[in-house]
Amino acid sequence: MNIELILFGAFALLTLLSAGMVIFARSPINSAMALVSTFFFLAGIYVLLWAHTVAVMQVLVYAGAIMVLFLFVIMLLNLGESPTRGRPTLARLAGGAATVGLLAVLTITLLKLPQGASAMGPEAQASFGTMATMGQVIFTQWLFPFEAVSLLLLVAMVGAVVVAKSRI
């Protein structure tokens, strides 16, 4: 029982709990707050995976920017608790059953996988998941997708303004 496993267990449990709150909370505000905590705990798990840069970006982008957007929209639309629970339709029952089935199948599959991680040398460990390493890869091998994503963000920005505006 080492400290890493304990940390992982704690984070995983908290992540699943918050995720459960996201889907079961009655008020969208509560869902959104639960989602923020999910993102934070996930960032912790990313750190355990030595993905420090992605963990930082997770907090910045997801917990920061995206969540602010969600909360802003909820407040803008002035959404409170949903007055009634929707009645369970056939589609929802089927969807729920499919989800449970999928979880079962995935779990069986994953448990059959060989365990373990590749051992990395100390110098590889030192540079793994750092900003420098990622930057190296992004700006050489993945430069074109990177530029394409920047364009995508620009288009999304313009698109969001156009779609959300009441009249142009």
Partner 1 sequence: MVPITYYLLLAAALFCMGMFGVLVRRNALVVFMCVELMLNAANLTFLAFARMRGDSIGHVSAFFVIAVAAAEAAIGLAIVIAVFRSRGSVLVEDIRTMKH
Partner 2 sequence: MNLAEFFQVAPVAPDLLAPSLGLIIALPLLGAFICGVFGRMLGRANVHLIACSAVAGAFVLSVLAFWATSHTAPGAGDGARRLLAFYRNPFGIEADFVRYALAYDYGTWFAVGDFRVNFGLAVDHLSGILLLVITGVGFLIHLYSTSYMEHDDGYWRYFAYLNLFVAAMLTLVLADNLVLLFVGWEGVGMASYLLIGFWYTDPAKAWAGRKAFVTNRIGDFAFLIATFLMVLLVSAFTRQANAGDYAMAGSNSQRYQAALQEKGPLTFKGLEKMAEGLMDSNSDKVDLTTPIEAGPLEGYTFGGVMTAALLLFLLGAAGKSAQLPLYVWLPDAMAGPTPVSALIHAATMVTAGVYLFSRMAALLVLSPTAMATVAIIGALTSLLAALIAFAQDDIKKVLAYSTVSQLGIMFMGVGMGIFWAAVLHLVTHAFFKACLFLGAGSVMHGNGDETDIKKLGGLRHEMKWTWGTFLVATLAITGIIPLSGFFSKDAILHGVHHNHLEGLHWVSSAVYYLGLVIAASTAFYMTRLYLLTFEGPRSKEARVAHAHESAWQMTLPLVVLAVLSVVAAVYAFPLMRSSSGQPQAVFENFLSPVFSAMNRIANGAKTVELDTSVPHLADYVFAWLVALSGGGAAAFLYLRFFPARAGQPAPAFARAVRRTAQNKFYVDELYEFIVIRPVKFMSFILFRVVDALLIDTVAVRGTAWVTARVGSALRYVQTGDAQAYAAVMALALLGGVAYALIQVMQ
Q: Which of residues 95-154 bind partner 1 (CB under 8 A)?
A: 95-96, 98-100, 102-103, 106-107, 110-111, 113, 115-118, 120, 124, 128-129, 133-134, 136-138, 142, 145, 149, 152-153
Indicate whether 95 belongs to the interface with partner 2 (CB under 8 A).
yes
Which is nearest to 135 in space by CA: 69, 57, 68, 78? 57
Token pair of 62 as six digits: 């997801």
Nearer to partner 2, 6 or 93 (CB): 93
Interface with partner 2 by CB under 8 A: which range of 15-23, 50-58, 96-104, 134-142? Answer: 96-104
User: Can you tell me which residue has the tokens 């639309």?
Assistant: 77
The distance from CA 124 to its chain's CA centroid, rounded to whole angstroms, is: 27
Nearest residue (CB) to partner 2, 104 versus 126:
104
Query: Which amino acid belongs to residue 78?
Result: N
CB 113 within 8 A of CB 36: no
Number of residues that bind partner 1 (CB under 8 A): 83
Is 24 one of the binding residues for partner 2 (CB under 8 A)? no
Contact predicate 127/48, CB 8 Å: no
Binding to partner 2, residues 107-126 (CB under 8 A): 108-109, 112
User: 3-state SS of the chain: helix, strand, coil percent to 5?
Assistant: 75, 0, 25
Residues of this chain that interact with partner 2 (CB under 8 A) are 89-92, 94-95, 98-99, 101-102, 105-106, 108-109, 112
